[in-house]
Each structure stands twice: as structure tokens, then as C-alpha cells.
Amino acid sequence: MNLRVKSRRLGEETGVVEIIGEVDVYSAPQAKKVMHELVDGGATHLLIDLRATDYLDSTAMGALVGVLRRTAERGGWVRLVGPGPRIRRLFEITRLDQILPIFETEEEALADLPGEGGVG
């Protein structure tokens, strides 16, 4: 399966997960594990970088909703960055874009967080 998941921290509370390739029922557990590890490590805000995501299914969407619930319990959020039009459409069809806001760039997604990621 063609999936790579990379993670990094932006300051104390924010983590970034980059999903590269295809994430589906087979590979979603790999992405889910990385997202939950960041939350376990203290991140309350997650940016999910979808700029290099070629395919994403409902299993991956369910994993995003699951990690959103965990961050929301701590007053945090999950935001999506840069999905292509096809993947953006899937979030619009399911109306998940209402709870997982979509931004074009990482800077836009962090605009209301002064001090995080050097954008404040």
C-alpha cells in the first residue's frame, strides 16, 4: 500500500500529520496511530496535511472524527490543510468540513494561534 505518514510538532500544543499517498481501510490504522500518538504526547491541536494525499476513504474520515473527539475533550481542534478538489469534495458531501475546517495552507490554518509555528 502506498502510504507514508509523517508527523512533527509545532510548539507545545500543536502537531502536524502529513498523509502522503493513499489512505483506506487497510492503511488508515497507520495514520490513526500517528495521530493518536501526537495527542498522547500532549498535542491538543492537530493539522492534517493532505496536500500529498491521493486517495482517502470513509475509514480515514472516521479516524479523523475519532481523533477530533479526543482533541475536543481537551479544548483542542483538528484542521485540514490543502486537500485536492476531489478529496475536498468528499468532505463536503459528508458535511465533515463543518467539523473539520479546511484551509489552503498551514499558515492560514494557524492564523488564530499566535506563537504557534512562528506565524504569530
> Which residues of this chain interact with other proteins, rule CB under 8 A?
1, 22, 24-26, 55, 57-59, 61-66, 69, 86, 90, 93-96, 99
Do residues 116 and 85 lie in contact, with contact meaning Cβ atoms separated by under 8 Å?
no
Q: In this complex, which beta carbon is closest to other proteins, that of residue 65 or of residue 113? A: 65
Minimum distance from CB of 110 to other proteins (Å)?
25
Query: How many residues make up the chain in this entry?
Result: 120
Q: In this complex, which beta carbon is closest to other proteins, that of residue 95 or of residue 112? A: 95
What Cα–Cα distance (Å) separates residue 61 from each residue in 55, 67, 107, 109? 11, 10, 23, 19
Of the candidates 61, 60, 75, 59, which has an alpha carbon nearest to the alpha carbon of residue 14?
A: 75
Minimum distance from CB of 58 to other proteins (Å)?
4
Minimum distance from CB of 109 to other proteins (Å)?
21
Q: In this complex, which beta carbon is closest to other proteins, that of residue 55 or of residue 103? A: 55
* Amino acid letter for position 37: E
